[in-house]
Amino acid sequence: MPVALWIVVAAAAVYVAASVRIVKQWEEMLVFLFGRLVAVRSPGLHVVWRFFETAVVIDKRIATTEFRTEGTLSKDKVPVTLLAVLFWKVADVRRAALEVKNYQAAIDLAAQTTLRDIVSRSDLEQLLSDQRRLDELIAEQIRERATSWGIEVLNVEIRDLEIPASLQDVLSRKAQAQAEKEARRIYGEAEVVAAEEFLRAARLYEGSPVAFRLRGLNVLLEAVKSDQNTLVFLPTELTDMLRAVAPAPTPRDEAPPSGGRD
């Protein structure tokens, strides 16, 4: 075989080997012939003829994008720094490659502008207390923009919210005041319940003096059974009750002992 033929065969083999492309399981490849899209290749082994065809491989796995606002004023004129994470993936590789020049950069800018818009239209109370609704609202607005780019927006999660330190102190005092107010309300309700129960018990004892005496004796017994030396103050009502319960002395008990015969 002539040497020239060997050279041609070797060059052809090198050309074919250089044209082989491997598409991974999580990728799709777009093939362009002289700049025109001719095929979308699925995962596997493919041949893309060099110098004639070009290939663009797009990753279809879920990606994350962090975006934040720096000192954006809320609706009530409070500077807020908000950090959020966007979860998204490429759903249509044709649109992602043809409709937007750089879909990753477009997602970043869309997320930042949407976050600023949401913060400027929300007051601080909403930003602090209703973050789940904000997550859904941000994701919905980004989704409206990204769908035309072939991007599927999964969800948004707010990771951090920063406000000025002076305002943090004010909010802390407000939260403490709210907690103290709630504690006082609960304590007042407990006092009302206790008063109602005491009134009910008083009515029962009023109708049954024996039950009242037994209850007093039980309280006294519990105090005496204590392991430590306990000083017990008895109300006059309880001493009167004990006198009423104690048996009256007989005449024999009251007579003094005789000293001898007269």
Tell me which amino acid residue 242 is.
L
CB of 148 closer than 8 Å to CB of 76 = no
From 111, 184, 180, select the one nearest 143 (Cα to Cα).
111
In a domain, 152, yes or no: yes
Please name which of 157, 159, 161 lies closest in space to residue 171, comparing C-alpha atoms: 161
DSSP, collapsed to helix, strand or coil, labels residue 159 as: strand
**159 lies in which domain range?**
63-163
Of 214, 262, 223, nearest in space to 242 by CA: 214
Across the chain, which has 262 residues, the per-10-residue mean pLDDT values are 78 86 92 91 90 91 89 81 92 91 91 89 81 88 91 90 71 71 84 83 74 67 63 58 54 51 44
Residue 262: the pLDDT is 42
Report the SS3 class of residue 90. strand
Residue with tokens 């065809």: 53
The whole-angstrom separation of Cα 135 and Cα 97 is 28
Domain count, the chain: 4
d(CA 110, CA 64): 14
State residue 40's pLDDT score.
92
Residues 159 and 178 in one domain: no
Is there a domain that residue 142 lies in?
A: yes
Provide the pLDDT for residue 230.
57
Distance in angstroms (rounded) separating the CA atoms of residues 80 and 96: 33
Pairwise CA distance, residues 153 & 141, whole Å: 10
State the pLDDT at residue 261.
45
- For residue 256, is it within any domain? no
**CATH code where residue 114 lies:** 3.30.479.30
In this structure, are residues 107 and 150 in contact, taking their beta carbons and an 8 Å threshold? no
Distances (CA, A) of 139 to 75, 116, 200, 244: 20, 13, 58, 80
Single-letter residue type at 55: A
SS3 label, residue 77: coil
H-state helical runs in 80-164: 93-98, 103-120, 124-129, 131-146
Pair 70, 157 in one domain = yes
Domain co-membership, 181 together with 158? no
Verify that 44 and 122 share a domain, yes or no: no
Residue corresponding to tokens 């006092």: 191
**Domain annotation covers residue 257:** no
Domain boundary pick from 163, 198, 225: 163
> Where does a domain end: 41, 59, 77?
59
Residue type at position 217:
L
3-state helix vs strand vs coil in the chain, percent to 5: 55, 25, 25
Tell me whether residue 195 is in a domain.
Answer: yes
Q: Are 16 and 47 within one domain?
A: yes
